Structures are given as C-alpha cells and as structure tokens.
Amino acid sequence: MIDYIVVGSGLAGIAFAETLWQHQKSFVVFDNHSQNSTKIAGGLYNPVILKRFSEVWNAKQQLELADIFYKRIEQKLSVTVDFKLPIYRKFFSVEEQNNWFSASDKPNLSPFLATDIIHKKYQSIDSPFGYGEVLQTGYVDTVALLNHYHEYLKSQKAFEETTFDYSQLQIFDDYVAYQNLKAKHIVFAEGFGMHANPFFKYLPLDGTKGELFIIKANDLDLDVIVNTSVFILPLGTNLFKVGATYNWEDKTCTPTEEGKQELVDRLKEILNCDFEIIEHFAGVRPTVKDRRPLLGTHQSHKNLHILNGLGTRGVMLAPAMALDLFEYIENGKPLDKTIDIKRYTTS
C-alpha cells in the first residue's frame, strides 16, 4: 500500500507531490495532460494587487514558502525555474502616483512597494509619470517546471500518463483502491478538470479563460516586468510574454480572434514600436468567485481530498496550499476557514 494517489500534475499537483516527497511519503501521480492552465500561465508572483494597490491575501507567508519550494526544486532537478525580476507599475497620472505613496505607507504594503518613483526611460515605452517598483517579485518558468518535474516523476516510477477513471475508484474505510493500487489517501488536483469529478463537482469552481502572446519586438529594450493593462515579461533575445485576458464565459482552451485583438489593442496603447506575434495560446484558470482556494476532505469519505481553485496566483499559492492540506490530512491541523471546502456545505 502506498500513502497517496495524486490526480493532476499542474502547479497544485506538483506542489503536493513535492510536499509528499519532502515528508518521505510514497505516492503515484495520474495525469492525462488535458488541463493546460499551468503551461499557459504567466507565471508571475506579485504580492500586490496593482489595480487597487492592496495586499494579496497572506502574501508574506506565501512568498517565503514559495522561495524555499522553488529553490529546492531547482537544486533537485538541476534546472532554473525561478527568475527574480522587478515588476514596474506604469503610472498614467499624478493621482496614481499619489495613490501609490498612500499605499506604500500602509504597514502591510510597505515591504512590497518602493517609495521612489522610477523615471528610467525604456525604448519604445512612453512613461511621463514614471513607474512604481514592486519588491519581492519575479516569475516561474511553468513550462520548464512541468516538463522537468514530470520527467523526474517518471524516473521515480511515480507517474501514470493516463486518464483517471473515477468509476474504477473503490473507497473503503481506511484506504482507496484503484486498478492495482491501494492508497491511504487520494488527492484531486485537477484544475478546471474538476467539473468531471463526481466527488467534488458540486463545488463552485468557476474557471476564467486567459489568452497570452509571445511577441518579438526588436526595438523594445526591457529588463524588468512592466505591468499596466497587460504585463510585458522579457524572455531574452527580443522575445516577450504578454498577457492576459479574462473571459468568464468561454471555457475552452482555444485562442480567439477577440482575445488576440484585445491584447494587440492594449499593447499598442503601451508600445510605440512594431512587434510580431510569435505564439498565441489560451487556457482556463481554476478560479473561485470568493477568490479563495478549495482545500479539504469530502464530507462522506475521509480519504478523499481536494487541492484546487488556485486561480491566477497559482505560482505563489501552490506551495503554501499544498503544505496546509498535507498538515491537515496528516496532523489534523485545521484549515483556514476561508479556504476549507466546508464553507460550501450546509450540513
């Protein structure tokens, strides 16, 4: 008997698998690669909601855990996935500058907002009001993370590239059985694919489609992430990742002309140089209306658990949420009521 079956290997599944590995637990991960929100993610981590200059929920703790988590993975897999890079919020008015200064005076935001306005001139971007610098930011190369971690799991004989068949799951008092496996627990970390899960599909996982570009812009000289109505992330050799759109109606992973036009229009508001779209991709983020993850245990089956709803901030959230769920399952440490799925049960 193994300790865990994990269904899904995006950010949530990888974070939970790595947490299990750190605690010497045996496990097998199932994934058919049907969900691609991690692969198409912007990968940014940023402790501040820049639309309204407010702190991301539990940002300090999440950043600390994420830093340790990605360093450990980099050492283990001999790959770089975490790139520390400042985020510059472009100001469009004196009023925005003043709002920034007001926010930087708040105790919970002062560690994350630099107090000096940056007037550095970047070729092909007009910025008469300058930029505000967000501290403790960067991005995770989610494609590299997924590819290398999946190869690692395969090398450990801990990865099954196949669709999980819910009808074959047998649930007993102290374990679950699936095909030739027996496990003490099963954790579902399926992202938007949760809607096919008969045990947890009652949960209000909404799903928000996002579209992104990779562009080539030979005349754009940028060594930081610029955030305005879109983010522009330098990838090297004149390539930049640009995103993202938010569509609450379309739940497909197909890029659209509407999404393309929206990103092009926003880019043209910021850049005064030519650019070429190299790649256009889309995915559905696992979002929840109350903007909190979905963690916990099935109300009728004590060995069925869920780790989902990481939304647009999966890179920051995943390590902390994986640890919270592990401590809850293994040590009975209560989950924060705002993330526990019990908030959606009336019994």
4 burial class (0-12, 13-18, 19+ CB within 10 angstroms)? buried
The answer to whether residues 31 and 8 touch, using CB atoms and an 8 Å cutoff, is yes
- For residue 38, what pLDDT is reported? 66
**What residues contact residue 339 under an 8 Å CB cut-off, 6+ apart?**
292, 293, 294, 295, 296, 321, 324
How many CB atoms lie under 10 A from the CB of residue 157? 8
pLDDT at position 181 over 90: yes
Q: Which of the four pLDDT bands, split at 50, 70 and 90, describes residue 51?
A: confident
Mean of the pLDDT values across residues 109-133? 94
The answer to whether residues 263 and 229 touch, using CB atoms and an 8 Å cutoff, is no
Q: Mean pLDDT in the chain?
A: 94
Mean of the pLDDT values across residues 9-33? 96
pLDDT at position 279 over 60: yes
96-107 pLDDT tens trace? 999 999 999 999
64-87 pLDDT tens trace? 999 999 999 999 999 999 999 999
Q: Which of the four pLDDT bands, split at 50, 70 and 90, describes residue 55?
A: confident
- For residue 40, what pLDDT is reported? 67
pLDDT at position 208 over 70: yes
Measure the CA–CA gap between 318 and 130, rounded to whole angstroms. Answer: 33
pLDDT at position 267 over 80: yes
Structural domains of the chain, with CATH: 2-41+143-205+289-344 (3.50.50.60), 86-136+208-285 (3.30.9.10)
**Angle at alpha carbon of residue 314, lines to 309 and 320, rounded to 5°:** 90
142-171 pLDDT tens trace? 999 999 999 999 999 999 999 999 999 999
- For residue 70, what pLDDT is reported? 98
- For residue 50, what pLDDT is reported? 85
List b or e across 317-326, with b for residues whose CB sees 16 or more CB atoms inside 10 angstroms. bbbbbbbbbb
pLDDT at position 347 over 60: no
pLDDT at position 292 over 90: yes
- For residue 53, what pLDDT is reported? 83
- For residue 346, what pLDDT is reported? 59
pLDDT at position 49 over 60: yes
- For residue 270, what pLDDT is reported? 92
- For residue 35, what pLDDT is reported? 66
Axis crossing angle, helix 314-331 with helix 59-77, rounded to the nearest 10: 90
DSSP for 289-344 reads: TTS--EEEE-SS-TTEEEEE--GGGHHHHHHHHHHHHHHHHHH-PPPPTTTBGGGG
**What residues contact residue 24 under an 8 Å CB cut-off, 6+ apart?**
none
Measure the CA–CA gap between 317 and 312, rounded to whole angstroms. Answer: 9
Strands (DSSP E) contained in 31-180 are: 44-45, 48-49, 54-55, 82-84, 87-90, 131-134, 138-140, 159-160, 169-171, 176-178
Measure the CA–CA gap between 246 and 248, rounded to whole angstroms. Answer: 7
Q: Which of the four pLDDT bands, split at 50, 70 and 90, describes residue 269?
A: very high
% of the chain exceeding 70 in pLDDT:
98
Lowest mean pLDDT among 27-41, 56-70, 233-247, 324-338: 27-41
- For residue 64, what pLDDT is reported? 96
